[in-house]
Structure 1
Amino acid sequence: MIRYLPLVVGTLGGFALLANRMVTANLTNSQSRADALGVLLSAVLILVGLLWQQAQPKPPDAVNLIGEEGLEIDEALPDEIKTELAWATHILLTNTVTKVVAVYYDRKTILRRGILGKSNQVNIGTIAARVMKTQKPIYLVKLELYPGRVEFDYLPENTQGVIVQPLGEKGVMVLGANIPRSYTKQDENWVTAIADKLTYNLEKTSL
């Protein structure tokens, strides 16, 4: 609200000066100079307000993701892996903008947690396959802009942003957010660190 203050004050000041000029029959030189100064100040305030709108764009709006909140985990996993997955996803869901996490490893979906989508299986499409091949994460800042979004049917249909993070050569961890362009560089580094730890434990444990 503060960023609108110069624009509002400048506009009101300009109207006040105009109204004062219209009701004043005889203007003295000093009044004319004061009016000119007032007009100048109002114009400066309006300009500052407009510049603030450009310098401080409105942040993207959050949406309510469509789906039910839940936790699905492969019961065949060793207890230590279940614990590791529970810890990792809890950290991501409570410390970042992430609202849903899905983990695919060794040709099967081993976890979905958060606001769940319609499909209960992670679909390895072009994007996820590329991540596993290159071992580099992909951040889709606004999912609706990407044709490849159809492969994410296991996420809520109105998911706004997605990170696809590699878990070695056998898997991926997919994170969904309810705000576009919401993951910061620090968030991405945090996701990478957690994924590396999770990958280490998955690789050393026979699934």
Structure 2
Amino acid sequence: MEAGSFLRSPISVTHNQPLRRRIESGFPRFVGASIAANSDGRYRGPKPRRDWVADWVSKNDDFVRSLPIYVGGASLLAVLFNRTVSGVAPVADASSSQSRADLLTLGLAVTNILSGLVWLSIRPKSISMISPEGIECQRINPQLPTPVVSELLWIWESISDVTCCRSLVVVYDSSCILQIGFAAKSSDSDGEAVSVDTSTLKQGSLYQGVMKSGAQNYLANLSLYPGRSELPFLPSNTQAVILQPLGDRGIAIIGGDTIRGFTTSDQAWISLIGEKLDATLANYLENFPFAVVDKV
């Protein structure tokens, strides 16, 4: 069997079950656990340890952030109390070892207080799911064979069920063969979804960069990238986008509703889906020309 024949061969899948779940169910999650299991199937190996310190800190975030202020304030009071009861003159004297030690202690106490104030003023921004501002659409090229349409719909259902994906666009051989999920609303009176202009998309830096590198491009926070203007068909408040190449003939654009919402496993899984979709499209559509995408 040739090296690339596996990816190009048709793959039989169950369309009512997402691919990632089937992959995860086919391999043991913990190899060590399967080795350490006895005859009755119960795990006898070492149990995973919980990080009690991390759990306590996460549950007492406000107290931990203000703790340096308490320590610094207590240190200041301790220095003043020690200065009072020790009989040392209240005026600092550089020639006195007690005065030099007190100055160092005061500096450390003030540093603790300032650190606590900084910790309280700087907090991580909470990330939440954002409802897409657009309308739902389902546009599929009417000339696609039935097996390809079934494959595309299954991919959409699988990705949207287990990830933060809310929009999916597939461009193949310079034609948009699928636009499904939420899309930007047209400013025309009809208010329909904005269609994908493939010629403009292919001229953009995002498309050209992905096709040149042949690797997935993950825009974890789309609002920070100037290239977001190249994706006008996505809802204006799309939070994250994955650009997945489909071989050297197309690209899949996946829009999410959460900043950094796609995990590392999601990205790897989407890469596998992209390879499978490329194999399916190349297998079925080699001799079928595309037409302009229409609404179903």
Give TM-score, length-normalised by structure 1. 0.73
State the one-letter code of the partner of 2:195: N
**Alignment of structure 1 residues 28-47 onto 2, 5 Å:** none
Moved more, 112-121 or 83-92: 112-121
Q: Residue type of the partner of 1:108? A: S
SS at 1:77 equivalent: coil
How much has 1:132 moved relative to structure 2? 1.6
Distance 1:9 1:166, change over 3 A: closer
Please report how far the alpha carbon of residue 8 of structure 1 lies from its aligned counterpart in structure 2 after TM superposition. Answer: 11
Letter in 1 for 2:224: L
Match of 1:145 among 224, 235, 238: 224
Correspondence list, 1:68-87, <5 A: 68-87=135-154
Which residue, 169, 188, 204 being the options, matches 2:248? 169
Matches within 5 A, 1:3-42: 3-4=60-61, 6=63
- Percentage identity across aligned positions? 32
Mapped partners of 2:270, 2:212: distance in 1: 19
User: Does 2:187 match 1:112?
Assistant: no
What is the Cα-based RMSD across aligned positions, in Å? 3.0
Q: 2:208 aligns with which of 129, 142, 147?
A: 129
Q: How far 1:113 moved relative to its partner?
A: 1.1
Determine the C-alpha separation between the residues in 1 that align with 2:238 and 2:66: 39
User: CA–CA distance in 2 between the matches of 1:192 and 1:3?
Assistant: 39
Alignment-mate amino acid for residue 203 of structure 1: A
AA matched with 1:74:
N
Letter paired with 1:92: I
Q: Which amino acid aligns with 2:258?
A: I
Q: What is the deviation of 1:71?
A: 1.4
The TM-score with structure 2 as length reference comes to: 0.52
3-state SS of the aligned residue for 1:182? coil
CA–CA separation in structure 2 for the residues paired with 1:196 and 1:135: 11
The residue correspondences of 1:161-200 to structure 2 (distance < 5 A) are 161-200=240-279
Q: Secondary structure of 1:188's partner? A: helix
Structure 1 segments unaligned to the other structure (5+ residues): 11-42
Q: Where do 1:55-70 residues align within 5 Å?
A: 57-70=124-137
- Show CA shifts across 1:56-106 (max 9, x none): x45412211111122111111111110110111111111111111110001
Q: Which runs of 5+ in 2 are unaligned?
A: 1-57, 68-111, 186-193, 289-296
Q: 2 CA distance for matches of 1:174 and 1:168?
A: 14
Runs (4+) off by over 2 Å: 1-10
Letter paired with 2:270: V
Q: Which residue of 1 aligns with 2:166?
A: 99
Q: Specify the structure having the higher radius of gyration (Cα).
A: 2
Query: Number of residue pairs matched?
Result: 175
2:274 aligned counterpart, secondary structure: helix
Q: Distance in 1 between matches of 2:65 and 2:271?
A: 45
Which residue identity is paired with 1:148?
A: G
Write 1 or 2 for the structure with the bigger share of strand.
1
